Amino acid sequence: MTTPTEPIPPQPDTALGFTRHGGCHAPSDPGCYGARALSNDRGHPPRGGSASDSGGPPELPASGRPEPSPGLAWGSGGAAARSATDRGVADRSAAAPPPPVGNPLAGAGFDALAGDSVVVRPQHLHEPGGFIVAVPAMLGFTPVRSLVVAVLRAAPGVAGMTAVDVVARLDFDSPGRIETGQVVERVAGICVRHNAVAVLALIVDDRATAPTAHHRGVRGRRHRELVEALERRLAAETVPLAGAWAVAGIAPELMWWSLLEPRRTGTQPDPAASLITLGHVLDGRPVRGSREELTAVVEVDAVELAAVAQVFDAAVAAAQQRLAAAVRRGESGSYSRAALRKVLWQIANVESGAELEASELAELAVALRDPAVRDVMFALAPGDHAIAAEALWVRLTRCLPDPDRAETAALLGYSAYARGDGSLAGVALRAALASDPEHTMAQLLDTALQSGMRPEQLCQLAATGRDTAADLGVDLGGEQS
């Protein structure tokens, strides 16, 4: 809890505004929100300010059609076994520098999220509390003991406006102490890649207290040193730190305080009343109470895992017999076609509310070992059956043995990524790599996510999936909406 102080009426050093906007670029974006930094605490205007979207990503090349492969090999397969879909993601992720090998932030609580486009209406909000209570919606969960950074870029087509392009979070208490220099270098790298015009920072730390006239506050010095280091590093890239605040938690009536001069304090409004939170909830994007709730989505269910394990060998043997029969007939593609139809049928069953049995879950896992079948699943993420497909990926991720679990976790990661839920995408992709560290698609998607690649840059995966289905003689009904 914070130490009670007399709140100082906010005098906005940064004008923040959030509103729904229909100009999203990504097909999966349900709405846009924005934040504008008029000036930073030191009175310097943000860099840039052009209405043109000069920092936007270039058009991405098509990845080509994969050869239907009926094999029952593991989904990761290594470089030689990569499908055209894998290669397509590799082409895209190569456009942005991946995190360096051995990056101390990767997998250590640092989440680089492809954010919603945020367009500002400054008259709607004029104090930091509105930004602070929107953070859980932008992240997908309420952070604790974290540094949260919102990277802003020029909003396309709106003069003087900026948009939240990437939201990044660093866990203060992740295993192994992370040096301040590593933190600020990573944030600076994201800013450069995204042509940032300004940055907002928030520290959430339940051990902290607000400063008073006689005390700088518990952990105040540590927090200010971090923010000052971040400000210096960003200044080297001519990116202003437009505002930095600290809170003990994110909840109604809790205090916030500025970490830059001049010192200011205020109280937070109700996060549930935030327009951004409301928009996310209405669009089916839940705001979870903690990161633990998020990781629980992909935790293994030991009971169901044991049930699937009992029937798994039988499912593999049956699939091998079907494949052998198809090869003898000279119709190896018929195996992939039948396996694809089985997966699509079960997705329809999930959509109708059916509860799949352990034997059916095992059969699905074996079907998804076929790279062609797996590739088609990417076409479902932006479509009408995306919710049912994602529910099935969650179920399979919780009950399959390694390394088959990696395949469905990667599909879950892509599905979440495509609809803008970067937090769930990161959790799912880490689960995939824990199950199979060599899983090519999970590696590529994780690199794309960590480098801040936007969801719409992966749209070609869906087109490739539809092409693969067509090659197998299965019509998915054209481009999904």
pLDDT of residue 187: 86
One digit per residue, the tens of pLDDT, for the chain of length 481 reads 333 322 222 222 333 332 222 223 332 232 233 333 323 344 444 343 332 233 333 222 233 333 333 334 333 333 334 555 555 555 544 444 433 333 333 333 445 443 333 332 332 344 789 889 999 988 889 999 999 998 888 877 777 777 777 888 888 765 445 577 888 888 888 888 888 999 999 999 999 888 877 777 778 888 999 999 999 999 999 999 999 999 999 999 999 999 998 888 999 999 888 877 777 777 777 888 888 999 999 999 999 999 999 999 999 999 999 999 999 999 989 999 999 999 999 999 999 999 999 999 999 999 999 999 999 999 999 788 999 999 999 999 999 999 999 999 999 999 999 988 888 999 999 999 999 999 999 999 999 888 778 888 888 899 999 999 999 999 987 555 4
What is the distance between the alpha carbons of residues 190 and 164, in angstroms, rounded to a whole number?
12
Q: Say if residue 136 is preceded by a cis peptide, omega within 30 of 0.
A: no
pLDDT of residue 48: 39
CB 451 within 8 A of CB 98: yes
CB neighbours of residue 394 within 10 Å: 20
pLDDT of residue 1: 38
Degrees, nearest 5: CA angle 236-238-242? 110
Helix (H, G, I), strand (E, B) or coil at 214: coil
Strand 146-154 and strand 162-171: pairing?
antiparallel
Amino acid letter, residue 312: F
pLDDT of residue 215: 76
Tokens at residue 367, please? 């079907």
What residues contact 392, with CB distance under 8 A and at least 6 apart?
Answer: 346, 347, 350, 356, 364, 408
Angle between helices 386-399 and 422-435 (to 10 degrees): 40
- Residue recorded with tokens 């948009």: 163
pLDDT of residue 316: 98
